[in-house]
Each structure stands twice: as structure tokens, then as C-alpha cells.
Structure 1
Amino acid sequence: MSRPLMIFCAGFGRRMLHLTQDRPKPMVEVGGRTMVDRAVDLGLAAGAAPIVANTHYLPEVITPRLQARGVTISHEPGEILDTGGGLAAARPLLGPGPCWTLNPDAIFAGPNPLDVLQGAWSEGMRALLLCVPLAQAKGRKGGGDFTLTGDRLRFGGDHVYTGAQIIDAAVLDEVSERVFSLRRVWEALAAEGALHGVEYPGAWADVGHPEGIALAEDLLADV
């Protein structure tokens, strides 16, 4: 099934230190390919349409690459809107109904994470997050994010959010602020017992910091 995909590309990438002085974090290469190209590849392979990416930091560097791949740009001038605000601003481009979202600073080795989410999605869900056990989260700094019981998530535990989800963007209507994190929406859904999760069956690496690059490249070499 085709559905829209939002790729979050607006952040400053400060944890990447010198690597993001002249380029947004998604333009950092892993295994000879930029992370944003890898994210677009996942979207195309899953049949995502349209694919939308938000931009803010050094847009002149990343926009040509995105446009060359057929990605629609949701630019955020002035202030950065965070994940929730960025998704809300992109809704006119994404269209109605649930969409995939993807953080490009993660590497998946195994099945397409978007396909895994699609296979676990049921009508009536409002958010379905793809998670991986903390012990299998390469490059993760810190503890887990969630406890996964069946297909329900609650905050705190030994599962890590991988940066991929399906979310019905209509849940954003409940937030009046322009700048906000998707965590705020997840917390409200979790309080209602309505935050869903599914475990990723492959390997995953966090590439939000420089040390994660080598770990991700080792992971890909083993596939």
C-alpha cells in the first residue's frame, strides 16, 4: 500500500560536531552514501508517495539532492519547528490520512522498516512506533525509551525508538503550539493506552553522533 512519507531533515545535527559545520546531518555519508539518500531509498522501495522532507539548517546544501530524488520540500524559515511542528507544517504536502515518518540518522540492516510498520498497522491506530531492544541498538547512548507489551507502548523500559513510525497526523490537531515535539503527542496517546509499537526484526544503528558511523558501516558489512 502506498502512503506518504515525511523525512525529518531540518535539525542542526550538533551531536555530529565538526561533520555538520558545512552540511546538514542527513548529508553525512555512511558506507559511501548519504543518510538522506538511504532514507529516500527506503521510501521508494516501500512505494511511498509523496515523499516530503523538511529543511531549515543549510537548505542550499541539501535541497538540490532532495529535489533530484523527487522529494517535495517543506522549508522552515526563521525558527525550526521540531518534529511535531515540522510534521504539522508539512501536512498540506502530505495529504490526509496516516503517513510514515522517518529520521534519516539511523541505519537499518534487515527488512525495510516501512514495510514492517505497514504490516503491523491496523485501522483505528493513531500512532505505531518501530522499536528495537536496547541490547540490539548499536551506537545508542543512554537507556531505552519504552516498554513494549503486546503491541502497546508505555514510556520507560528497554526498547528504543528507531526513528520510524506510522502516525495519523490528525492527532496533531490537539496541539495549538507551532513548535513542539512529537513526544508530546506520544505521551498523550500513551496516557490513553493508545500508543502502539512493533519490534524491528533486523539490526539497527544510531548515527546521530560521529561514533555511530563506523558502527553502522560494520552493521551493513555483515548483511
Structure 2
Amino acid sequence: MRHTPAALMLFAAGNGTRMRPLTETVPKPLIEVAGKPLLAHAMDQVATMPNLRVVANAHYKADQIEAYFAGSDVVVNRESPDLLDTGGGLRNALPLLGDGPVFTMNTDAVWLGPSPLDCLARAWDPVRMDALLLGIPLDRAHGHAGHGDFSADPDGRAARGPGLIYSGVQILSTKELLEIEGSVFSLNALWDRLLVRQRVFIQPYPGQWCDVGRPENIAVAEAMLRGGDV
């Protein structure tokens, strides 16, 4: 089995409820920020790793997601009839992703700085880790309220609590996904198992990040990308 990630799961299946009314006509990953869809911003981060196998899940307005990736090497995995959430969606895509750890990436954020995938790849240590999350320091996060999702000890080992915001990007060992009951579940169910064994780590991101989960955050993201006031 591989010990370094050779595949990426793009989460693109959600209903986009918080982005209404924009998502009444397009799925959230195709909403434009700074003149291009969120999916294009996500794929910009993949460009530094051209040999990655990329799989995107799709459910809400899946035809539009499939049309966007038509002619590319990205494989679109439809979730039907039910939306499977992040954990169920990842497990459903495992036959396409292959064995070994994978990158996963949410598609509702934009980045200003180095590729988040590169940052994680350099820090990944499969001997100690089953999950390596990319975290955003509060002063580098835009469009996001709260005090963070995970703290980190001096070695980078993660625990739930204030500290770093989970960016939506990680490297994850998937072998325990098959042990979780039910078809619809969040990746939190897997993280909880790994946290007990102290196998979850978090790496701070050195650049800027913006959560584009609400319509009003589009302007915030565009200001960040311009390098202006946010």
C-alpha cells in the first residue's frame, strides 16, 4: 500500500444552502470569485501536483459539475439518490481514489500564498499520522467567525478546541472509513476515532485564506486576492 497521497478528493456535492439565492441556478462550486468559478480556484492549487488523480463528487446540479470537468482528467463521482456527507462521500469514492492516504479539499475557499497541498505534502509523516489537517491562524483567515476548530501541541498534534481554523484541506488515511456504520456520515466520525489515538496533526498555513460560504464573502475574497483591505 502507498504511504504518500497520489489522489485528491474534491468535495463538490453540497446543496449550497448558505449561498442562496446564488445557488438556485448553479451549484456552489461554480459560483464565480474574481472572474472564475470556485472549482477553478481549487484546481489552481492542484496545478503544482500534475500527477495527482483527482476525483470530484457531485449531487446538487451534478450535470453542471460534470459539464465543467468534461474533457479533463478529473473523474466526477455522482452521489445519487442521497447526498452522503463528507465521510460517506469519500468512502463512496474510494474505488476511484485507490489505496493509501489521499488529499481532500473543500471547494468553498480561495487562497493567497503557497499551494496548500504542497504545504501538507512536505509535513506528512505516515509513521506518526493518520490525518494531517491544514489550519489557518485567526489573523490569516477572512470571512470566518469563531475562535478556531483545533489546538496544536508543540509537535503539531491536534485536539479539538480554539486555535486554528480547519481550512478544508487535509491528508487522510482512509483505511478506517470502512469500519464506520451507515452510508451518510461526516468526516468528524473518522477524526474522532483518530483523535483518541493521537493520530491527528495540524499544520499552520503561511498564507491567506477566505471562506466563501456565504454570498457576502465573495467581495471579501476578491479584496483578499487583490491584496487590498479585507
Taking structure 1 as the reference length, the TM-score comes to 0.95
2:60 aligned with 1:65: no
Q: Is the 8 A contact 1:9 1:26 kept in 2?
A: yes
The one of 204, 211, 214 equivalent to 1:209 is 214
The one of 12, 29, 38 equivalent to 1:9 is 12
Cα deviations by residue, 1:56-108 (Å, 9 ceiling, x for unpaired): 00011121112233210111011100000000000000000011100010111
Q: Partner of 1:178 in structure 2? A: 183
Partner amino acid for 1:131? Answer: G
- What is the percent sequence identity of the aligned residues? 42
* In structure 2, distance between residues paired with 1:95 and 1:176: 21
Q: Partner of 1:84 in structure 2? A: 87
Within 5 Å, give how 1:160-179 maps onto structure 2: 160-179=165-184
* In structure 1, distance between residues paired with 2:51 and 2:161: 31
Q: Is the 8 A contact 2:12 2:57 kept in 1?
A: yes
Q: Partner of 1:146 in structure 2? A: 150
Partner amino acid for 2:151? Answer: T
**How big is the shift at 1:133?**
1.4
Within 5 Å, give how 1:28-177 maps onto structure 2: 28-124=31-127, 125-149=129-153, 150-177=155-182
* Runs of at least 5 residues in structure 2 that lack an aligned partner in the other structure: none
Equivalent residues, number:
223
Residue aligned with 1:70, SS: coil
CA pair 213-68 structure 1, distance change in 2 beyond 3 A:
farther
CA pair 139-48 structure 1, distance change in 2 beyond 3 A:
farther
Taking structure 2 as the reference length, the TM-score comes to 0.93
Residue aligned with 2:47, SS: helix
* Runs of at least 5 residues in structure 1 that lack an aligned partner in the other structure: none
**How big is the shift at 1:2?**
6.6
* In structure 1, distance between residues paired with 2:24 and 2:55: 24
**How big is the shift at 1:168?**
1.1
Residue aligned with 1:64, SS: helix
Cα deviations by residue, 1:177-212 (Å, 9 ceiling, x for unpaired): 111000111112112211111000000100011121
Residue aligned with 1:68, SS: coil
2:205 aligned with 1:200: yes
* In structure 2, distance between residues paired with 1:183 and 1:200: 21
Residue aligned with 2:86, SS: helix
* In structure 1, distance between residues paired with 2:201 and 2:112: 22
Q: Is the 8 A contact 1:126 1:171 kept in 2?
A: no
Q: Is the 8 A contact 1:113 1:164 kept in 2?
A: yes
Q: Is the 8 A contact 2:5 2:100 kept in 1?
A: no
* In structure 2, distance between residues paired with 1:110 and 1:138: 14
Partner amino acid for 2:139? Answer: A
